[in-house]
Amino acid sequence: MSERIFSGIQPTGNIHVGNYLGAVKNWVQLQEKYDCLFCIVDYHSVTVAYDPEGLEERVLDATATNIAAGLDPEKSIIFAQSLVPEHTELAWLLTCLTSVGALERMTQFKEKAARQESIFAGLMNYPILMAADILLYKAGLVPVGEDQLQHLELSRDLARRFNSTFREYFPEPKPLLTSGARVMGLNDPSSKMSKSLEGSYIGLADEEDLIKQKIRRAVTDPGPQGGKMGPGVANLFTLLEGFADPDVVNYFKRQYAQQSLMYSELKESLAAAMNTKIAPIREKRRELLAKPEKVKDILYAGAEQARQIAQRTMSEVRQLMGFRI
Ligand code: AQP
């Protein structure tokens, strides 16, 4: 059997072109070669303030958008984290093996905590739940962007700590560094494009006019950059490489090198290229969401498959940790 891959995405809002280029596009290819589990990590999404009324809709939207972008329930196990309670059970047991210092050092925790009025323990413990997600399925490979490497390192540490404390049991999950780009915010190219930062992203559900409008407003260069390409323009090139044909990319690179690049022309071409790729995803997502019961059935069927693996792991973990009553 091929190696197992686990990956997750939070239902925190509109899945955007950063998620797509940095993760989803790659997952679509991986499912052809590996034994893949893709999880809508709804328990992760409540580590910051959220609207409970919209949660179900966001889970269905994330599921439909990923399927529309190419994830195939016939090839991969696609499910929601909250349908498999073993995730939180293992997370608690791993919490008891994790030092608070390691959690406090996490860059994402520090960044997200700075944006919160009150910081809940769930936000700090987020990487432990992520470790539980991965270890529960003994996934050998985890496709991650650079931003998630630090979290994965904790998963590896926890696997090692569990193995040395109890018995050699968990494989250490290795990162599968995606070749995908790190896309920055359109309104602020110094921080990454994020679902929860309004104005930073273009969603896979955005209509053509909205895409054009957002790209038109994207930050380019605030002023002279000492001969270096500014982060806003570099980000537009990252997007262009992700969505446009190579000859279009090369054309604009030449224009830039000759210092004759017109931002308006670059933006217009970029918006058109994005819309060409996004339109079929947008349409398929709409069709799927018109039948939410079918989307739920996909999640239930996926959870049933995931649970078979998760229950086996938990029964072995309980034994190893001494819970034998
Ligand atoms: N800007 C990005 N560029 C490239 N890859 C990205 N990913 C996220 N943002 C970018 C990758 O998408 C996958 C799923 O991400 P996630 O939803 O689990 O969490 P996130 O990284 O926290 O994504 P967001 O959009 O920033 O969500 P919020 O705003 O809710 O925190 C991951 O593989 C991630 O690397």
Residue range 239-283, pLDDT digits in tens: 999 999 999 999 999 999 998 999 999 999 999 999 999 999 999
pLDDT for 228 equals: 81
CA 146 to ligand 1: nearest atom: 35
Express each pLDDT in 289-311 by its tens digit: 999 999 999 999 999 999 999 99
Q: Is the pLDDT of residue 102 over 80?
A: yes
Question: Is residue 203 lining ligand 1, measured as CB closer than 6 Å?
Answer: no
Q: Residue 300: which of 138, 12, 63, 29 has the closest Cα?
A: 63
Give the span between the Cα atoms of 157 and 105, in whole angstroms.
Answer: 14
Express each pLDDT in 137-148 by its tens digit: 999 999 987 778
- Distances in Å between the Cα of 209 and the Cα atoms of 215, 221, 287 are 10, 24, 20
Residues 247 and 311 in one domain: no
Q: Is 69 domain-assigned?
A: yes
Give the span between the Cα atoms of 276 and 292, in whole angstroms.
Answer: 26
pLDDT for 195 equals: 87
Q: How many structural domains is the chain composed of?
A: 2
Count other Cβ atoms within 10 Å, centred on residue 173.
24
Express each pLDDT in 23-64 by its tens digit: 999 999 999 999 999 999 999 999 988 999 999 999 999 999
Distance from the alpha carbon of residue 99 to the mean position of ligand 1, in angstroms: 25
Distance from the alpha carbon of residue 192 to the mean position of ligand 1, in angstroms: 8
Q: Is 193 domain-assigned?
A: no
CATH number, domain at 39?
A: 3.40.50.620
Residues 171 and 317 in one domain: yes
Higher pLDDT, 118 or 276: 276
Distance from the alpha carbon of residue 316 to the mean position of ligand 1, in angstroms: 32
Q: Is the pLDDT of residue 78 over 70?
A: yes
pLDDT for 198 equals: 87
Question: Is residue 58 lining ligand 1, measured as CB closer than 6 Å?
Answer: no
Q: Is 199 domain-assigned?
A: no
Domain extent at residue 315: 4-180+292-321
- Distances in Å between the Cα of 19 and the Cα atoms of 23, 119, 277 are 5, 25, 14
Q: Is the pLDDT of residue 226 over 80?
A: no
pLDDT for 169 equals: 98
DSSP H/E element including 175: strand 174-177
Q: Is 130 domain-assigned?
A: yes
Question: Is residue 175 lining ligand 1, measured as CB closer than 6 Å?
Answer: no
Residues 129 and 48 in one domain: yes
Give the span between the Cα atoms of 250 and 273, in whole angstroms.
Answer: 14
pLDDT for 222 equals: 62
Give the span between the Cα atoms of 204 and 18, in whole angstroms.
Answer: 10
C-beta of residue 132 within 8 angstroms of C-beta of residue 97: no
Residues 156 and 75 in one domain: yes
Question: Is residue 127 lining ligand 1, measured as CB closer than 6 Å?
Answer: no
C-beta of residue 163 within 8 angstroms of C-beta of residue 156: no
Q: Is 190 domain-assigned?
A: no
pLDDT for 1 equals: 64
Mark whether 192 is an active-site residue: yes
pLDDT for 49 equals: 87
Catalytic member of 112, 212, 214, 267: 112
pLDDT for 236 equals: 97
Q: Is 53 domain-assigned?
A: yes
Residues 95 and 172 in one domain: yes
Q: Is the pLDDT of residue 225 over 80?
A: no
Catalytic member of 25, 195, 214, 267: 195
Q: What is the pTM of this model?
A: 0.93
- Distances in Å between the Cα of 198 and the Cα atoms of 10, 108, 201, 270 are 16, 18, 7, 20
C-beta of residue 256 within 8 angstroms of C-beta of residue 281: no
C-beta of residue 46 within 8 angstroms of C-beta of residue 186: no
Question: Is residue 10 lining ligand 1, measured as CB closer than 6 Å?
Answer: yes
Question: Is residue 183 lining ligand 1, measured as CB closer than 6 Å?
Answer: yes
CA 9 to ligand 1: nearest atom: 18
Give the span between the Cα atoms of 136 and 307, in whole angstroms.
Answer: 10
Express each pLDDT in 137-190 by its tens digit: 999 999 987 778 999 999 999 999 999 999 999 999 999 987 677 899 999 999
Tell me which long-range contacts 116-120 makes (C-beta under 8 A, separation of at least 24).
116/48, 116/49, 120/47
Distance from the alpha carbon of residue 20 to the mean position of ligand 1, in angstroms: 9
C-beta of residue 95 within 8 angstroms of C-beta of residue 128: yes
